[in-house]
Amino acid sequence: MSSALLTGIAELVTNDPGCGDGSPLGVIHDGAVIISGDAVAWVGAAGDAPAADARRDLGGRAVVPGFVDSHSHLVFAGDRAAEFASRMAGTPYDGGGIASTVAATRDASDERLLELLRTRVAEMRAQGTTTVEIKSGYGLTVGGEARALRLAGLLTPETTFLGAHVVPAGARRDDYVRLVCGEMLQACAPHARWIDVFCEPASPHAFDGDEARAVLTAGSSAGLGLRVHGNQLSAGPGVRLAVELGAASVDHCTHLTDADVDALAGGRTVATLLPGVEFSTRSAYPDARRLLAAGVTLALATDCNPGSCYTSSMPFIIALAVREMRMTAAEALWAATAGAARSLRRDDIGVLSPGSRADLTVIDAPSYLHLAYRPGVPIAHALTSRPGREERNET
């Protein structure tokens, strides 16, 4: 297998605290990386680099582990720009607009949905994302949910069944929960790694704690890992339920009680913050410092979706985390890479060390600090990124 040596790396972030400066980011100044096939073969100081078959000079740029966008809803058609405009004029977000995306998605052909999906994944990759989790949730029928997951599975192994996104128009709540836990789950489980539920008693469209528990328990019995949309609009039961059931991640965490923070601190569930949602719904941001002070593991993701947050940019999310949630740039970068990898229970991504996947993101700047320092400027690009199986098969 041929190897390539990357040099000219002014700042190499490995996320391996055993490397470089000993910080959680494991920063090596004037670093080098050797890639062999799909994997990292060596990292270290440029002066110590062994020989390789090929060599590439990155001209004094920074290199970081590829961003892991661990929460997105990319399988959709339609547009809700008018809903966004009305929110900016004061209408609060409550998930009611999801119905319009469901209608547009049901109307779209498989070919059209796949084309939209590919475009969105390519947009992410162009901004430095090398792994993306993709949820269903805009079909809300047995066939529609299975189709979304089958298409998402062409682009990523991180697929999530979100039949329990909202109760579809015309359905009775208890009938719909039974369908999600029965026939729909059976059809979707072969195409999904995870199951998720929008647990939000404050929304008339989403699910309460008992309904969420039923969905998650059924998903777990079908062999799926657990994720939860929790505590987005109110301090509901989502966070504590996620921790109790051993979910890999509970996402949003915007409204938390002390008991929620204690539960997260005492459990293994990662708290995934999605500050693009607060930006795009003009809401108060989650209290990242409170969670960090309690020792909770944080991830950052985009939540890219047509309603609450239509950005595909992890650098933008990092900038928001630093500016609006007072995370340090180092904490934010760690959460967007290693933390998000942890939320997907993956140890082969989010880190650059021998044996990890060769998912590298290059920053057109001498330091990762520029991710927050230069908001909105397209300086991050995936170098050797393969967000999905499809692309892996092509290489």
**Is residue 127 within the footprint of ligand NIG (CB under 6 A)?**
no
Q: How many CB atoms lie within 10 A of CB 209?
A: 15
Residue in 366, 393, 392 with CA at minimum distance from that of residue 125: 392
Contact of residue 236 among Fe ion, ligand NIG, none (CB under 5-8 Å per partner type): none
**Is residue 305 within the footprint of ligand NIG (CB under 6 A)?**
yes
Considering only the stretches 96-104, 111-119, 212-220, 354-362, report the one whose residues sit in contact with ligand NIG under the rule CB under 6 A: 96-104
Exactly one of 95, 225, 237, 387 binds ligand NIG (CB under 6 A); which one? 95
Q: Three-state SS for 299?
A: strand
Between CA 58 and CA 45 the distance in angstroms is 14
Nearer to ligand NIG, 237 or 307 (CB): 307
CB 45 within 8 A of CB 31: yes
- Chain positions contacting Fe ion, by CB under 5 A: 303
CB 337 within 8 A of CB 26: no
Minimum CB–partner distance for residue 274 and Fe ion (Å):
7
Residue in 242, 247, 240, 160 with CA at minimum distance from that of residue 195: 160
Exactly one of 69, 133, 278, 303 binds ligand NIG (CB under 6 A); which one? 303
Nearer to Fe ion, 271 or 352 (CB): 271
Contact of residue 70 among ligand NIG, Fe ion, none (CB under 5-8 Å per partner type): none
Which residues, listed in sequence order, are joined to residue 131 by a DSSP beta bridge?
68
CB 216 within 8 A of CB 223: no
**Is residue 361 within the footprint of ligand NIG (CB under 6 A)?**
no
Nearer to ligand NIG, 68 or 253 (CB): 253
The β-bridge relationship of strands 298-300 and 39-45 is: unpaired
- State the residue number with the nearest CB to ligand NIG: 307
**Is residue 267 within the footprint of ligand NIG (CB under 6 A)?**
no
**Is residue 255 within the footprint of ligand NIG (CB under 6 A)?**
no
Q: How far is CA 235 from CA 93, 230, 291, 299, 351, in A?
A: 16, 8, 15, 19, 33
Residues of this chain that bind ligand NIG (CB under 6 A): 73, 95, 97-98, 101, 198, 229, 232, 277, 303, 305-308
